[in-house]
Structures are given as structure tokens and as C-alpha cells.
Amino acid sequence: MPRIATISPVWGCSVSDLRALANEAEGGGFEAIFSPEVPPFSALTNAQVFAEATSSINVGTWITNIYMRQAVMCAATALTIQEITNGRMVLGLGVSHKPVNDRYEIDMGDPVDSMRDYVGQVKAFMDGTAAQLSLKRELPKVPVYIAGLTKGAATLAGEVADGLMPYMSTPEYIKELKDYVADGAATAGRDPSDIDITLGIPSVVSEDLDLARVSGKKGFSPYLNFPFYQRLMINNGFEGEIAKVRAGEKPADVFTDEMLDSVALIGPPERCRERLEAFREAGVDLPIIVPSPAGKQGNVEVMQNTVAAYSG
């Protein structure tokens, strides 16, 4: 089975649902299940729930906000999950978004510099080389991935991370990000093939294509309100649409079928699988399916439909 992963809902769900989602993904042969982070839900804590409910699937964060935790405690928590899973933990780190961080009175500074420093600290705390620690936990290395939508973040991933975690990117833009990763790797004297290129790909699986499109636009268009995603969609080739949003038009009215199909997997399972191959061919090593409901569906039902569509 080709590599494939998934996530729990972006806006959080019950612990009971988290266990069920992890079991569904594991049963379907998925490589990993990750948790997003939107307070009051913790991606690291959710990853621990996944860990204790499973036996073989990788678990991790997609992503955890570096400004919300001191690096030493992020490392400590990741190591505990690594011990619970016997080496199945993947730590995805990100900077979130300025509107979100402003809400919590967080000064982001320079996000790329902040991430470079944080990754260095986390790795040192986890491998025992940090000067502040006198005790090393003898555990398998925890891979550290970083979220990235821009040249700066992708280049940094090539320099210091084990993988890149972008989202809602076209195949064409993934090729650009992969080139930036290679540039960063070359600067650091690393082999670009050692950096895992993932991509969060939104998915709405339904035999009713019209329903899937309506649901997709409703679920994904709010991202166009965030500056980072506005820049991303410009990089994806939709400058005109973003100009309309910035001029005051509603994102849901701007989000076209073309835009939806360029970054998401929409409709019947066969159509979704066919589109997924375009992302693999563009250089995505690990597609991370981001499931969304078609109409009114519960979290577990959505995951069951997702696993059925993409496993095997």
C-alpha cells in the first residue's frame, strides 16, 4: 500500500472519538494519524491518546504551536509519547497564524528565526546534548517536521528538519516547495532525499459530487481570511481571487470549483484517488488526508469513509 496518513478534525473532538479515529486509520493500513492544534485542544495530548489506543500506526502533531510551549516541555512530552509507542511518534511543529497568536498576546517575532531556534532546542533536549539537562532518555529519535507554506519555511526544513508539512498546495506549488527544501539541504550539506515531503490535502468523499463541492467550499473557504493562506493561494496561482477577498468579497463566494479541485480531493472515491496521484507525481512522499464531512456526518463516519476510499 502506498504511503498515506490522515488527521483528526481540525476543531477537535472527544477523546472517545480520537480513539475510534486512530483505530479506523490503523485498521485501514494508514502510516500515521496526526492531530491539529486549536486551543483548547492540545495536539500533543491528542497524540498521546492516539498512542495509547493503537499498536502499529505512527502518531503525532500536525502541528503544535511553538509559541504555546517552552521547547524543553515540548521535547519532554514528545519523548513520553515516543516511549508509549515504542518509537512511533512524529513531532510536527508550526508557528500558527498571526490572528490566532495575537488573540493570546503572543509576539511572533520573525517566524523563520523563531522556528530555527526552537527546532534546535527541541532536538538538543531530546537527544541529551542540551547543556541545561543532566539526564538523557534512551529512546529512538523522534522525527521533527515543520509546517511550511513559503520559501523561507521550506528552505529551513531542508536545513534543520526531518520533514516538511505544507497544506492546501497545488501539485505545481509543491514542486517549488520541494526545490526550496533541496536548496536548504544543500546549504546544510544534507541529502534532500532525507527530508520527507508531506502535504495536507483536504478531502470530501461522496458519490454526490455537487454535495462534496458545496461541503468543501463551506469548510475550506474560511482559510482565505488568514494572511498566511492568502499568500499561499497567491502562490498557488489564485491572485485574482485573493484580491477579491481583500476587497471585501466573502471567501465562500470567491472559492471556485477550479480552486477547490486544485488543492483538494473532492467527490467519489475513484475521482479522489485519481487526483491524489497528481500530488504524488509532483513529489509528495506522504499525503496527509484531511477529512471533511459531506453534509451532516459524524467524525467517525467521516473517517470510515476516508479509510474506505484511500486504503488498499
Domain that holds residue 63: 5-210+263-310
For position 135, what pLDDT does the model report? Answer: 86
For position 312, what pLDDT does the model report? Answer: 65
CATH number of the domain enclosing 146: 3.20.20.30
**Does residue 231 lie within any of the structural domains?**
no
pLDDT exceeds 90 at position 166: yes
For the chain, what is the domain count? 1
Which residues are registered as beta bridge partners of 91? 144
**Does residue 30 lie within any of the structural domains?**
yes
Cβ atoms of residues 168 and 200 within 8 Å: yes
Question: Which residue do the cell numbers 472519538 mark?
Answer: 17
**Does residue 271 lie within any of the structural domains?**
yes
pLDDT exceeds 80 at position 295: yes
CA distance 38 to 132: 30
pTM score over 0.75: yes
- Rounded to the nearest 10 degrees, how much is the dihedral formed by the CA atoms of 50, 51, 56, 62? 60
The arithmetic mean of pLDDT across residues 284-303, rounded, is 96
In degrees and rounded to multiples of 5, residue 61 shows phi and psi of -115, 145
**Does residue 302 lie within any of the structural domains?**
yes
Mean pLDDT for the chain overall: 95
For position 106, what pLDDT does the model report? Answer: 81
CA distance 37 to 46: 9
**Does residue 293 lie within any of the structural domains?**
yes
Cell of 144: 521533527
**Does residue 229 lie within any of the structural domains?**
no
81 pLDDT band (50/70/90 cuts)? very high
pLDDT tens-digit profile of 242-285?
999 999 999 999 999 999 999 999 999 999 999 999 999 999 99
Kindly give the pairing relationship between strand 5-7 and strand 32-35.
Answer: parallel
Cell of 61: 502533531
Question: Which residue do the cell numbers 517552552 mark?
Answer: 70
Which residues are registered as beta bridge partners of 65? 94
First-last CA distance in the chain: 6
Contacts of 141 (CB under 8 A, 6+ apart): 126, 127
pLDDT exceeds 90 at position 286: yes
pLDDT exceeds 80 at position 104: no
Long-range CB pairs of 72-76, under 8 A, 24+ apart, other chains included: 72/121, 72/125, 72/130, 72/132, 72/133, 74/44, 74/122, 75/121, 75/122, 75/125, 75/126, 76/125
**Does residue 243 lie within any of the structural domains?**
no
**Does residue 93 lie within any of the structural domains?**
yes
In degrees and rounded to multiples of 5, residue 255 shows phi and psi of -75, 100
107 pLDDT band (50/70/90 cuts)? confident
